[in-house]
Amino acid sequence: MGGAGAVTPGMGDVNVERVFIVGCGDIGKRVARLAMDKGAAVTALVRSEESAAKLHEHGIGTVEGHLDDPESLAGLPLRGATVFYFAPPPGGGITEPRARAFCAAVRPGEEPAKVVYLSTSGVYGDCGDLIVTEDTPANPQTARAKRRYDAETVFRAWGKERGVPIVVLRVTGIYGPGRLPLQQLTSGQPVLFESEASYTNRIHSEDLARVCMAAAEKGEDGDIFNVSDGNPGTMTEYFNACADALGFPRPRQVTMEEAKKVMTPLMLSYVTESRRMDNSKMVGKLGVKLLYPTLQDGLKASVAK
């Protein structure tokens, strides 16, 4: 048999013929479109008939099941398919039960050809001004990042046991149409003074979808890829650029001490960690040419849509 079903661990350059998406939101639909444009049949896991109907409008087949209900996952049509696992972990704790439930549901002989897991660059923790490569040790600090790293570990162990290639994408902040910080800008949430702001990184949603497809086609078992546009900036620069693009006033700036009093815990967790992500492996091995290599390019396209 040819196509996806012929994949073995360690092979690259695969013709993806069947795709199964777990967590088919914005990025999932973008990946589905790219896959279908290449002739692949795409199926997604959904929790409701309403979700199924919306995906059917995009030409995406569906199977109903819930990651929080392991029994509902029995018999998923995975054999020979490339799985994109985009589903987020549940809130709370530092482990990822949904990834475990998915892996446990795959029957012997029904293994997928490959799994591309969407993780987060947060697994590296706070790296200060250092350049972060895929060889930088993982050091997750937040519960959110620990859950993602646990999922990475689960998939790698399962893939090794079952002979399924696992490719991990450590994704930075995603922006694009419908993904700009409108609520933060309109509610008057502050940002740090530029002199205190840490490094942050981002990737446009359409570029992320293209990286996902390239990882499915060229990624090898055990590969980890940092996914970013390769142009680190600060969160303050990002919010100012978004405000300018949207025609909003720039947010007020505060010291770190004041930020600890007025920022939400989630926002504070973002601004207290710093990373300068290196994307050279993504660009080199996957051969991805970014559509939006700079924030200015990406914001212009995002606002236009």
Which pLDDT score, from 0 to 100, does residue 251 have? 97
Q: What is the DSSP letter of 113?
A: S
The CA distance from 222 to 11, in Å, is 11
Average pLDDT, the chain: 94
The domain locations on the chain are: 8-178+202-231+277-299
Q: Is the pLDDT of residue 5 over 60?
A: no
The CA distance from 64 to 52, in Å, is 8
Q: Kind and range of the H or E element at 21?
A: strand 18-22
Question: What CATH superfamily is the domain 8-178+202-231+277-299?
Answer: NAD(P)-binding Rossmann-like Domain (3.40.50.720)
Note the pLDDT tens digit of each residue in 67-95. Answer: 999 999 999 999 999 999 999 999 999 99
- Residue with token string 């290449």: 38
Q: Kind and range of the H or E element at 174?
A: strand 173-175
Half-sphere exposure of residue 270, counting CA atoms within 13 Å on the CB side?
Answer: 17
Which pLDDT score, from 0 to 100, does residue 1 have? 31
- Indicate the pLDDT class of residue 304, thresholds 50, 70 and 90: confident
The CA distance from 279 to 202, in Å, is 11
Q: Is the pLDDT of residue 33 over 50?
A: yes
The CA distance from 83 to 62, in Å, is 14
Percent of the residues in the chain that have a pLDDT greater than 70, as a whole number: 95
pLDDT, average across residues 218-225: 98
Which pLDDT score, from 0 to 100, does residue 13 have? 67
Note the pLDDT tens digit of each residue in 129-172. Answer: 999 999 999 999 999 999 999 999 999 999 999 999 999 999 99
- Indicate the pLDDT class of residue 266, thresholds 50, 70 and 90: confident
Q: Kind and range of the H or E element at 212?
A: helix 205-218
| CA distances, 211 to each of 27, 34, 143, 170, 189 (Å) | 11, 11, 26, 11, 32
Q: Any bridge partners for residue 154, and if so which?
A: none
Which pLDDT score, from 0 to 100, does residue 265 have? 87
Q: Is the pLDDT of residue 2 over 80?
A: no
Q: Is the pLDDT of residue 15 over 80?
A: no
The residues, ordered by sequence, that sit 6+ positions from 191 with a Cβ below 8 Å of its Cβ are 197, 235, 236, 239, 240, 251, 252, 253, 254, 271
- Whether the full predicted model's pTM is greater than 0.95, yes or no, is no
